[in-house]
């Protein structure tokens, strides 16, 4: 008999129903099958939609381009995580006046596997704007969304970061933001027992982070759904103006394992696209959907961070990866402040200097804090299919976006000096790489307004198949169906008319849940959208 302490811990992605997972990397023949609904993508939107549809009694197939990387495979190796779980090994970029790196998950659970699990309900001012300016009327009001938020919060265990895993990076930010009377707090996250390993980005090693690969995907499979992993959807099959299935092929991140089998799935009741704001519009365009707004109005929250070096230990490697935030400036200046812990490999990529100078700086890793901003930018861009099956994404930040960015940087610099930072490393071209006194902050305030001078990253994506009643200005109707094509639905943030100014996963899931409930009801009643 084994000792209790040696009993292996079981994770929710360990025990999956027999036959529920079809691994494209192991397929030896082409696949044909029939379901009520095909859901494309297993991230925030797809997992929730699939779970809702199967719970309503419909048969469901989820098709996911990436592999299923299980909890017990998550490690500390950042490069391995980037290669296995991120699209294009994290080498995607938005083109425009600058190249802006674009990060997306490409695995079962999508970006929820590699994200920080921060949960924010959609701000009411955003919903009011959608209703008034974009004709959404009562489709997406807080009254309609509230029960979906409540269920998600219960299922995914949304709670404030526990004090014992707050860590110094988060704690210092909170203390000094509050001293300045900024509206600030501990983050609320999908968290069931975070141990503060600061490894959200590599995949949570304890499954405490309630990403989709350990929650709604296994739950949907237990209710009878099937998932086709490492299977990429190339196009939606349409006949006589109605979606009837999907066509795709098996894939692999390792070219030696690619089997290239054809996947043809028939959908009796509909195809639900949840492949993300970049891939959903591309699938639609490849499938021959023509809508004026398709691929247009793409938006992001450009994010960037400043590092501060302290004399005292910060130890970013302990604590919630992102644990403290302030929405004080969301409406007045269009940015949200956040803490973030980055592993040494990613910090090294941002440090000023080279050779011995760089090595000395990296030796200070234990004394570095990183505080960041997500900017609610106004720029709109485009998403188009690219050669080789990818996407070409274009967007250039506006002057107003750059003013907001610069203000966010000065605000962070002030907070870092308040907290006792000896040096600040702003990482802005044209501003000295090391600032040593408060007087230096004016160098940021007078710094460039050129997006090429800043090290942005985009992880929050919106639009490109926006919702609205008028096919001339939107791609998706108020019933979540693509204008002009019956039974072809979009449930991810492609349909959002604008960005939010807060982290998007919670809004995406609540809207996907609401959409899938309505789609399921109509299908049960025998009505096509």
Ligand X SMILES: Cc1cc2nc3c(=O)[nH]c(=O)nc-3n(C[C@H](O)[C@H](O)[C@H](O)COP(=O)(O)OP(=O)(O)OC[C@H]3O[C@@H](n4cnc5c(N)ncnc54)[C@H](O)[C@@H]3O)c2cc1C
The binding site for ligand X (CB under 6 A) comprises 40-46, 63-66, 103-107, 110-112, 114-118, 201, 232-233, 274-276, 279, 283, 459-460, 492-493, 503-506, 508
Nearer to ligand X, 187 or 409 (CB): 187
> In angstroms, rounded to a whole number, what is the distance separating the alpha carbons of residues 183 and 189?
18
Nearer to ligand X, 87 or 176 (CB): 87
> In angstroms, rounded to a whole number, what is the distance separating the alpha carbons of residues 224 and 474?
35
Nearer to ligand X, 123 or 448 (CB): 123
Asked whether the beta carbons of 136 and 474 are under 8 A apart, the reply is no
> In angstroms, rounded to a whole number, what is the distance separating the alpha carbons of residues 427 and 453?
8
Asked whether the beta carbons of 42 and 227 are under 8 A apart, the reply is yes
Nearest approach in angstroms of CB 311 to ligand X is 30
Tell me how far the alpha carbon of residue 442 is from its chain's centroid.
Answer: 34
Asked whether the beta carbons of 511 and 467 are under 8 A apart, the reply is no
Tell me how far the alpha carbon of residue 219 is from its chain's centroid.
Answer: 21
Q: What region, left, alpha or beta, does residue 416 occupy, with left being phi > 0 and alpha being psi -120 to 50 degrees? A: alpha
Nearer to ligand X, 126 or 421 (CB): 126
Nearer to ligand X, 11 or 190 (CB): 190
Nearest approach in angstroms of CB 111 to ligand X is 3
Nearer to ligand X, 231 or 421 (CB): 231
Distances (CA, A) of 462 to 44, 278, 295, 458: 14, 9, 11, 11
> In angstroms, rounded to a whole number, what is the distance separating the alpha carbons of residues 113 and 204?
8
Helix then strand then coil, in percent of the chain rounded to 5, is 35, 25, 40
CB atoms within 10 A of CB 429: 13
Nearest approach in angstroms of CB 42 to ligand X is 5
Nearer to ligand X, 66 or 497 (CB): 66
Structure tokens of 138? 């009562």
Nearest approach in angstroms of CB 88 to ligand X is 11
> In angstroms, rounded to a whole number, what is the distance separating the alpha carbons of residues 209 and 212?
9
Structure tokens of 189? 């996250």
Q: Which residue is nearest to ligand X (CB)?
A: 43
Spatial CB neighbours of 355, under 8 Å, sequence gap ≥ 6: none
Nearer to ligand X, 105 or 167 (CB): 105
Nearest approach in angstroms of CB 412 to ligand X is 18
Length of the chain: 529
Nearest approach in angstroms of CB 112 to ligand X is 5
Nearer to ligand X, 45 or 404 (CB): 45
Nearest approach in angstroms of CB 7 to ligand X is 32
Exposure string over 467-486, b if 16+ CB within 10 A, otherwise e: bbeebebbbbbbebbbbebb
Nearest approach in angstroms of CB 434 to ligand X is 27
Nearest approach in angstroms of CB 81 to ligand X is 10
Nearer to ligand X, 116 or 380 (CB): 116
Nearest approach in angstroms of CB 527 to ligand X is 26
């Amino acid at each position: 008999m084994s000792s209790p302490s040696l009993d292996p811990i079981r994770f929710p992605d360990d025990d999956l129903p027999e036959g529920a997972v079809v691994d494209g990397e192991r397929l030896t023949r082409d696949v044909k099958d029939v379901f009520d609904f095909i859901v494309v993508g297993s991230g925030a939107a797809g997992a929730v939609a699939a779970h809702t549809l199967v719970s309503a009694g419909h048969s469901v197939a989820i098709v996911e381009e990436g592999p299923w990387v299980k909890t017990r495979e998550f490690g500390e190796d950042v490069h391995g995580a980037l290669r296995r779980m991120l699209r294009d090994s994290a080498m995607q970029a938005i083109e425009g006046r600058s190249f802006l790196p674009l990060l997306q998950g490409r695995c079962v659970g999508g970006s929820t596997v590699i994200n920080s699990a921060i949960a924010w309900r959609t701000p009411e001012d955003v919903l009011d704007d959608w209703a008034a300016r974009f004709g959404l009327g009562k489709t997406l009001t807080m009254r309609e969304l509230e029960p979906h938020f409540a269920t998600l919060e219960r299922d995914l265990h949304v709670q404030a970061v526990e004090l014992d895993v707050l860590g110094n990076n988060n704690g210092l930010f909170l203390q000094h933001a509050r001293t300045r009377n900024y509206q600030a707090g501990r983050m609320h996250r999908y968290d069931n027992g975070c141990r503060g390993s600061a490894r959200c980005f590599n995949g949570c090693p304890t499954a405490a982070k309630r990403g989709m690969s350990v929650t709604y995907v296994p739950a949907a499979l237990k209710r009878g759904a099937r998932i086709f992993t490492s299977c990429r959807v190339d196009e939606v099959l349409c006949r006589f103006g109605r979606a009837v299935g999907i066509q795709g092929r098996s894939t692999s991140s390792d070219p030696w394992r690619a089997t290239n089998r054809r996947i043809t799935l028939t959908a009796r009741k509909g195809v639900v696209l949840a492949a993300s704001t970049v891939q959903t519009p591309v699938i639609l365009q490849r499938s021959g959907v023509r809508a004026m707004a398709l691929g247009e109005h793409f938006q992001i929250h450009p994010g960037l961070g400043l590092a501060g070096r302290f004399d005292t230990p910060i130890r970013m490697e302990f604590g919630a990866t992102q644990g403290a935030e302030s929405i004080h400036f969301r409406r007045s200046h269009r940015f949200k402040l956040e803490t973030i812990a980055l592993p040494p490999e990613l910090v090294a990529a941002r440090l000023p200097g080279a050779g011995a100078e760089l090595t000395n700086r990296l030796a200070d890793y234990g004394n570095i804090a990183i505080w960041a901003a997500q900017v609610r930018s106004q720029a709109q861009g485009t998403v188009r299919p690219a050669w080789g099956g990818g996407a070409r994404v274009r967007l250039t930040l506006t002057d107003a976006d750059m003013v907001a960015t610069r203000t966010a940087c000065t605000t962070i610099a002030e907070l870092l000096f308040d907290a006792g930072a000896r040096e600040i490393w702003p990482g802005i071209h044209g501003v000295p790489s090391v600032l040593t006194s408060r007087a230096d902050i004016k160098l940021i305030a007078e710094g460039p307004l050129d997006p090429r001078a800043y090290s942005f990253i985009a992880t929050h994506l919106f639009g490109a198949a926006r919702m609205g009643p008028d096919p001339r200005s939107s791609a998706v109707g108020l019933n979540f169906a693509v204008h002009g094509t019956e039974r072809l639905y979009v449930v991810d943030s492609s349909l959002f008319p604008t960005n939010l100014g807060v982290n998007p996963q919670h809004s995406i899931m609540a809207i996907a849940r609401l959409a899938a409930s309505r789609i399921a009801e109509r299908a049960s009643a025998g009505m096509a959208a």
